Structure 1
Amino acid sequence: MEYLDVWWEMSLLYLQHTRDAINAQCEGREAWQIIMVTVGVMIICNWLYHQLFLHELGLFERFKLSFFRMLRRLPVIGTKIKEELEKTKAAITSDMFPLPDGDVYNTRLPETGIPKDELLNLVKTKYKSMEKIDWKGGRLSGAVYNCGAEHESLMERIYGIFVGDNLLHPDVFPGTRKMEAEVVAMCCNFFHGGPDACGTMTSGGTESILMACKAYRERAYKHGIKTPQILAPISGHAAFAKAAKYFKMRYVEIPVDPVTKLINIPAMRRKINKNTCMLVVSAPSFPYGVIEQVEEVAKLGKYYNIPVHVDACMGGFIIPFAKKAGMDLPPMDFAVDGVTSISADAHKYGLAPKGNSIVVYKNADYRMGQFYINTDWCGGVYASPAVGGTRSGAIIATCWATMMYVGLDGYQENAVKIIKTRQYVEECVRKMPGLTVQGKPDVNILSISSNTFDIYRLGSALTKKGWHMFTVQYPAGVNFCVTKMHTLPGVAEGFVKDLEECTAEIMKDPKAPAEGIAAIYGMAESIPDRSMVAEFVQGYLEAYYSTI
């Protein structure tokens, strides 16, 4: 008790000293001066707080950008950089989008419409024939998740039946409205959602991720958070950073273990603060094919009352069915307490035509923030569940038809074959001198790297043999994303054979520099000024729409 009395007296004494010091500083000054200084200090403190803690880019990133911007203004350096940029853009254009000899772009409407038979012939002989990669033969990593000619024929017929349906008016097209509700319900079911689980369909994985981020931003606003923060591993899909850019959120990256490629959970815990509005975990991650620690991230979400989103765009239509077939895979859905939403692409391993994805939530309270509602527009009350207003009923119908046609048995068979094919390719790669596998893949993706030579050389060598591969960076690698086409007899064996031959040839001179597009990939990864890399990519996007 005496100790508390002494502590109290000392506190009062310090407060009195502080009061006297402040009064001494204010002595002789007018009231307006004191008020203006106080307001000025508060403004400066508030500005510093926003710059340090609420800006979408970290302090170091902003300093780096400013430094390189200043460097590029120097006459000699700036001119040289501009010349190299133009050369690289030209190389990208010529390598990526070459036209057949004598071919030109149509830039005007025909004076009269082209007859049906002539138009079909033009499409087949001139446009469809431009494809050089035998993707139907399985020589493409990911991108197309084909179900075969019979399935394609069925989808064409289903699409034709519903081609005029517009889900902006569900009361006019009740059949496709019912189909969408059933697709969402079936997904909620195999993701072990409870009776309150719900969701919507979207146009793709990016939109599904955007919608989850928007939903959690709105939730954060309701809780008084002015600058919501997304916490995601560096392996998280770029759509999360895209969402942060679109929705004025802050995007914070969490490191992954350099060997296992799993999330550094202690690092994620340290980054959580009062502005954190969602935690992200992938099942599996696109760069490495690893199912990240859904249970551990979900525990953090439960403890801090933060929503947890599982990005299962790549694995959502594989993992649940592989587990049901008896394969040992980590849990990743609503069966894990703390998971509040999941994104899954039906147009990948769901085998539906492109334009089909799903985002599902633990309950309607989370989903509500995804919706857009405008009650004051002069055109009437406007509402949409996702980004799109008008939505094609034909796309939704093909997704529903695919799920009904493939069925539980079909998805199970597909999942097991894909995982076993990835395991076979991985075992072969691990035995090849000069090659390494990043992390320990769980599902469908295999990231191949090398500590001996520039791995982008391997990507170019495989391209010359007719294979099309994804590339990843930090560290550099080429991704082999197994699809149903790779499970066909001889396809995976053919890839392994070509991979072995290409690697053996490169290993004859492992220190040789990369050339062509491989050199551009390597250069892009090594350039510290990422704004320059952005200009390279901008050149690619400009070339995409070029008709010159």
Structure 2
Amino acid sequence: MPASTSSRPGNANAGPPSLVSLALSQALTVDNARTLIFYVVLYKYTLRLWRHIRSFGVTASIHQVYVEISRRLFLLLMKIPAINRKVTRELDAATKELEDKIAPRITTLSSNPTLPEYGRDRDWLMTALEDALQKDGQMIWKGGKISGAVYHGGQEMSDLLGDTIKMFMVSNPLHPDVFPGVRRMEAEVVSMVLRLYNAPETGAGTMTSGGTESILMACKAAREWGYRTKGITRPEIVLSRSAHAAFHKAGEYFKIKIIEVDVDRITRKVRIASMRRAINSNTVMVVGSAPSFGEGIIDDIDSIALLAKRSKILCHVDCCLGSFLMPFLEKAGLPSAPFDFRIDGVTSISCDTHKYGFAPKGSSIVMYRTGELRRHQYYVQPGWTGGVYASPSIAGSRPGALVAGTWAALMSMGDDGYTESCKEIVGAARKIEKGIRDEIHQLRIMGRPMVSVVSFCSAGSVNIYEVGDKMSAKGWHLSGLATEPPAIHIACTKLTVPVVDEFLKDLKAAVKEAKTRGPPGSMVQLYGLGSSSAGPALVGEIASRFLDTLYLVR
């Protein structure tokens, strides 16, 4: 019987390998594998480089490289002992000024770095609290000279909120079965705001601790949406340079790449063409402001939402500052612009109830077009040994007193109350804007503000930060802006309404005084660092030292 000719391994009579198997064995050599890996890596980084240049442009990309090289060079120079000692001395001097300003030694107040051996009685506590209250800048904000920060609804509202908070002091929405009244009030607040922003029937939202958390939640939801629906593992969000810093905070917390695009130098709105170029297959969301915090400008939300819809991505509108002004502009007979869920393509909005809603501090709403989108911000841990853990936002336990206070504020004001407050506050801002345009020609208004913020820069003959320092000397607390060109702004509140004429009078005087070029104040010193290559690193170090100072006990 003839021997078998089957081609098993080791069979000497096996026939020659097929052409396919021969080609495959040659293709799978180590050298070819290395070449394949090289081209894959090259493609990956070339694609990233192309996307970056497409988003930022060639000039901006080169500038970013220059800034990074300068930063690294500065860090190297800091290793030279003489330079390190000089810079450290200057930083220590700046820190001493911060400590004296932020945490001054107050001889009338006792220092309490440790628990008292025995509990203090009520009389002692009330005296200490009254002393602290007197040092808390009450006269500054009550006098209306502070930009934003205190969104006061009047003494009657403050009394109402105080009584409400006292009633619900121990309540916690984490336990809705124990505090059903707080659960109902929170649901009603979210519902009221959704309807105020013309959400569809599918709309949903949650309360948060403030605008920053609302923005963080919207970004976290966008990241999860991108991963679960598109498989995006390197998410990107495209926004304007004028967008709030909370988006960058979200980027760092949640590992999302933030792509900034420029604003138009005249309108101060985000450049839609630049935003369009910045969108790519990793983009999960685009952002518009209504209005922006710094310049008070409403972006072209219509066009931004259209970009999102065409690109099949999400669109967030930051209306934290616009809160209870934007929805009432038309009712108050004031100019407005499209901004809410009536725009097809807008998928989420943030609104601060603790600003112009006059709710207690620590209250904001994040809204979504659908409940399905809202679920992407939830955290659920079904396997915890303590039982199922689920929370709608970052916090677990939350102060039910703030929920009740927010509900009380909204119910107390009503539609008519908010319409009237919008008319007063925006009216004050328009009066300031007109006064600067018509009477202070050394300054120039940034864009065409529609809401409560008025930002202005130098028209060329005066240093705007010196103007800010002179206003500080007159008791005004304004915000310096690191924009191009540099600017300062005032965010009008109810407290600003009666002092508009005083503001314009002091601003005229400040402009005249700034021309004399006296010694630079804190605003000039801080923002002046921005022009140097080491500026961001130094400002960052000073900012960190400032945060350290907040916890200094003296």
TM over 0.5: yes
1:448 and 2:456 aligned: yes
Aligned partner of residue 406 in structure 2, secondary structure: helix
1:483 and 2:493 aligned: yes
Q: How does 1:184-333 map to 2 (within 5 A)?
A: 184-222=190-228, 223-333=230-340
Counterparts of 1:327 and 1:393, CA distance in 2:
36
Q: How does 1:61-100 map to 2 (within 5 A)?
A: 62-100=68-106
RMSD between aligned residues: 2.4
Q: Deviations over 1:296-344 (max 9, x none)?
A: 1011111111111000001021011121233221010001111111101
Aligned partner of residue 417 in structure 2, secondary structure: helix
Aligned to 1:17: none
Query: Percent sequence identity over matched residues?
Result: 37
Task: Give, in angstroms, the shift of residue 47 of structure 1.
Answer: 6.1
Task: Give, in angstroms, the shift of residue 75 of structure 1.
Answer: 4.2
Counterparts of 2:367 and 2:507, CA distance in 1:
39
Where does structure 1 lack aligned partners over 5 or more consecutive residues? 1-22
2:389 to 372, 382, 389: 382
- Structure 1 pair 378–128 and aligned structure 2 pair: CA distance change class (3 A): farther
Aligned to 1:334: 341
Counterparts of 1:261 and 1:47, CA distance in 2:
33
Q: Give the counterpart letter for 1:526 in structure 2.
A: S
1:156 and 2:162 aligned: yes
Task: Give, in angstroms, the shift of residue 163 of structure 1.
Answer: 0.8
Q: Give the counterpart letter for 1:389 in structure 2.
A: G
Counterparts of 1:290 and 1:133, CA distance in 2:
30
Q: Give the counterpart letter for 1:471 in structure 2.
A: G
Counterparts of 2:245 and 2:293, CA distance in 1:
10
Counterparts of 2:188 and 2:266, CA distance in 1:
41
Check the 8 A contact 1:456/1:521 in 2, yes or no: no
TM-score (ref. length: structure 2): 0.88
Q: How does 1:432-447 map to 2 (within 5 A)?
A: 432-447=440-455
Check the 8 A contact 1:454/1:513 in 2, yes or no: no
TM-score (ref. length: structure 1): 0.89
- Structure 1 pair 448–379 and aligned structure 2 pair: CA distance change class (3 A): same
Counterparts of 1:381 and 1:322, CA distance in 2:
44
Task: Give, in angstroms, the shift of residue 514 of structure 1.
Answer: 4.8
Counterparts of 1:115 and 1:456, CA distance in 2:
48
Task: Give, in angstroms, the shift of residue 395 of structure 1.
Answer: 0.4
Aligned to 2:18: none
Check the 8 A contact 1:343/1:358 in 2, yes or no: yes
1:523 and 2:528 aligned: yes
Task: Give, in angstroms, the shift of residue 147 of structure 1.
Answer: 1.1
Counterparts of 1:132 and 1:172, CA distance in 2:
37
Counterparts of 1:54 and 1:436, CA distance in 2:
34
Q: Give the counterpart letter for 1:515 in structure 2.
A: P
Task: Give, in angstroms, the shift of residue 279 of structure 1.
Answer: 0.5
Counterparts of 2:50 and 2:113, CA distance in 1:
50
Aligned to 2:375: 368
Q: Deviations over 1:470-501 (max 9, x none)?
A: 1111232221100011123xx11121122222
Aligned to 1:421: 428
Aligned partner of residue 324 in structure 1, secondary structure: coil
- Structure 1 pair 542–470 and aligned structure 2 pair: CA distance change class (3 A): same
Task: Give, in angstroms, the shift of residue 126 of structure 1.
Answer: 3.8
1:116 and 2:117 aligned: no
- Structure 1 pair 412–327 and aligned structure 2 pair: CA distance change class (3 A): same
Check the 8 A contact 1:232/1:253 in 2, yes or no: yes
Task: Give, in angstroms, the shift of residue 149 of structure 1.
Answer: 1.3
Q: Give the counterpart letter for 2:196 in structure 1.
A: F
Q: Deviations over 1:90-115 (max 9, x none)?
A: 22332343233565632011111111
